[in-house]
Chain A
Amino acid sequence: MTALLFLLFGGLALGCAISMVAQRNPLYSAISLIGVFIALACLYLTLAAPFIAAVQVIVYAGAIMVLVVFVIMLLNVEEEARRPLRMRYLVPAAIALAAVLVAEASFILFYVQTNPATPSTPLNTDVGLTSQIGSGLFTRYLLPFEITSILLLMAIVGAMSLARRGQLLSPEARVIPGSQVLPMDVVDPRRVGDATEVETDTTAEAAQLMGYGNVLRKQDEEDEV
């Protein structure tokens, strides 16, 4: 039964992985990657690690890939055209690496499997349970756990500061339907030194108050013509 499930989900994971690399539409690649993650989670379940399986689905399939799909949807990425291979020397390298991988796999299949190492102590089946993982994380492996948390926090703060650096509107500026508040640097990026804000009902009025009205007017007239 376990072998059957392993073949099923292992095959699914492999198929999805190949499809992920081969697809030219980025969204199809993303969907294939979700398939890989879910198949891997099922494999973890057959290996008596239910917690890892659940977390795999929640974190990878449910959170990270949603963001990836979100970005692909927002950017509306087109199918990439097939381009001629530029780095041709990679082809023999890839073949060599694949040969090493196949050799390794066959070594495990034909040598290691025939001499299974008998475990000295009976296998502990509680290892994958949530309570075991929890007490392990918060007692024996507390330091690595906390360091990882700090690393993640740094990543979040870093992403926030990077995203907020190139902002166009000042933090005080608010966009309210019907009236617009435009800081100087939006209308004229070259005069950033003068950061006085102007409050009017329309963009044109704001530009006029700042001495750029004629430019906008002229464009409007051209549009009308």
Chain B
Amino acid sequence: METITQVVLQLVAITIAFTVVLMIVAYTVLAERRVLGFIQGRLGPNRVGPFGLMQPFADLLKFILKEEIVPDKSTKFVYFLAPMIAIITALMPMIVYPFGPSINLPFIGNISLVIARFDVALLYVLGITSVGVYGIALAGWASNSKYSLMGGLRSAAQLISYELSLGLSLIGVILVSGTLDLYSIVEQQGGYWFYVIPRWNIFPQVIGFIIYLISAIAETNRVPFDLPEAETELVAGFHTEYSALKFALFFMAEYVNMFTVSMLATTLFLGGWQGPGVSSFPILGVFYFLIKVFFFLFLYIWLRGTLPRFRFDQLMNFGWKFLLPVAILNIFLTATVVFIGTIYGWW
């Protein structure tokens, strides 16, 4: 009986988290269109509801009601499987992020704002991300179109290349904190150095943070690394042949991925829900966490409005010949400092 209640509670928590995240994602799309409009000196969507706030629902309705077009020569099973893989792998990492410290609610009692805590949370995130490649690669192959295939191949190559530097950039944080459990990593980042600088991992791990940020943008196929869907050369890349709700799934997956890498950056480098006054008012932690995540989302939109796209050989050279060696160097440096620190006892 105990386990069944637990399972039901977990399912409720997962449903709430997914709903909240999908709502935030829907409004990120609107925010992106409005901010891009501002950057480019135009208005952006502002007709549906006040300030265009109902636009995400109008878009969703449009996606559902549009005509489904399935290419005649496509491999049907894989063609339908690909968007499902994309959205499932985008949503799955959501369960390990600590949205806040455990808070005390009236009637319900003490609840922890993380759905699942386990030993290998960070590796779980990396594993699910690496499975996410299939969504895009299979979509490109199954569409049976040259633009889709080129987009799929490009993105598979890009994701494999930047996954390495992404994973290696996180090892510095693991070395500093000595655990893979995201909740403990956040807890360790509480407090201050010299009473002013927060004990966030970004300060000892500046190189790791910059590498993570660059490879995370490449992992989510965003500008300036959006070669898989370079519209001037590939129509729309891997999702050229997808229409209606299946396209919406890819679109949603991209923004959910943006959201998850922002959450990972916040959790690992910017102290997660840590901030002034969290120990006395734990609910503040949720707001700190969301503010930090929104900062990264804004950064994404800002980059999209201001940067041009890489060429493919530049992208590959940058990933393999610059980011990867620097990431390895960062691990070496961090390991040396931590090792000497443990010998002399000041770590």
How far apart are A125's CB and chain B's nearest CB, in angstroms? Answer: 11
Partner of A27, one of B78, B118, B120, B128: B78
Pairwise interchain contact B118-A58, C-beta atoms closer than 8 A: no
Whole-angstrom CA separation of A34 from B134 in the bound complex: 10
**Does any Cβ of B come within 8 Å of A50's Cβ?**
yes
Rounded to whole angstroms, the CA-CA distance of A62 and B130 in the bound complex is 5
Q: Given contacts A38-B131, A69-B138, A73-B156, could you give 15 more A-B pairs where the C-beta distance is less than 8 Å?
A: A27-B141, A41-B127, A50-B119, A54-B123, A54-B124, A57-B127, A61-B130, A62-B163, A69-B156, A70-B137, A70-B153, A70-B156, A73-B137, A73-B140, A130-B180
> Given A63-B160, A70-B156, A73-B149, is A130 in contact with B120 using a C-beta cutoff of 8 Å?
yes
A141 nearest CB across to chain B (Å):
20
Write out the residue numbers on chain A whose beta carbons fall within 8 Å of the beta carbon of B153. Answer: 70, 73-74
For residue B3, which residues in chain A have a CB less than 8 angstroms away from its CB? Answer: 1
Roughly how many angstroms separate A61 CA and B163 CA in the complex, as a whole number? 14
Cβ-based interface call for A51 (8 A): yes
A31 within 8 Å of B (CB atoms): yes
For the residues of B in contact with A, the DSSP-based class is helix
Within 8 A of B (CB), among A29-82: 31, 34, 38, 41, 50-51, 53-55, 57-58, 61-63, 66, 69-70, 73-74
Q: Which of A34, A50, A70, A74 contacts B118 (CB 8 A)?
A: A50
Q: Kindly state whether residue B271 has any CB partner on chain A within 8 Å.
A: no
Whether B137 contacts A55 by the Cβ 8 Å rule is no
Residues of B within 8 A of A69 (CB): 134, 137-138, 141, 156
Q: Report chain A residues within 8 Å CB of B75.
A: 25, 27
| Interface status of A129 (Cβ within 8 A of chain B) | yes
B126 within 8 A of A: yes
- A63 smallest CB distance to B (angstroms): 7
Does B133 count as interface, using CB distance less than 8 angstroms?
A: yes
Q: Are B126 and A50 in contact (CB under 8 A)?
A: no
Contact B119 A130 (CB under 8 A): yes
Q: How far is the CA of A69 from the CA of B136 in the complex (A)?
A: 12
Partner of A58, one of B119, B130, B137, B138: B130
Contacting pair A73 B120 (CB below 8 A): no
CB contacts (< 8 Å) of A27 on chain B: these are: 75, 78, 138, 141
CB atoms of A50 and B130 under 8 A apart: no
Interchain CA distance A218-B250 in the complex, whole Å: 51
CA of A45 to CA of B127, assembled, Å? 14
A51 and B138 form a contact (CB under 8 A): no
Contact A51 B120 (CB under 8 A): yes
Residues in B whose Cβ lies below 8 Å from that of A51: 119-120, 123
Closest to A1 in B: B3
Q: CB distance B127 to A54 under 8 Å?
A: yes
Contacts of A70 in B (CB 8 A): 137, 153, 156-157
Q: Does B228 contact A (CB under 8 A)?
A: no
Give the distance in Å from the alpha carbon of A58 to the alpha carbon of B131 in the complex.
8
Q: Is B272 an interface residue (CB 8 A)?
A: no
Nearest CB in chain B to that of A48: its residue: B119
Residues of A within 8 A of B83 (CB): none
9 contacting pairs across A/B (C-beta < 8 A): A27-B138, A31-B134, A31-B138, A54-B123, A73-B152, A73-B153, A74-B153, A129-B119, A130-B123
Cβ-closest 8 pairs across A and B: A62-B130, A54-B123, A57-B127, A50-B120, A54-B120, A58-B127, A73-B141, A50-B119
Nearest CB of chain B from residue A61's CB, rounded to whole Å:
6
A62 touches which of B78, B120, B133, B152 (Cβ 8 Å): B133
Inter-chain CA distance A53–B140, complex, in Å, is 29
Residues A66 and B160 in contact, CB atoms below 8 Å apart: yes
CA distance A128 to B163 in the complex (A): 25
* Bound complex: CA A64 to CA B128 (Å): 14
Contact of B131 among A53, A55, A57, A130 (CB under 8 A): A57
Interface residues of B in 96-114 (CB under 8 A from A): none
Which residues of chain A are within 8 angstroms of B141 by Cβ–Cβ distance? Answer: 27, 69, 73
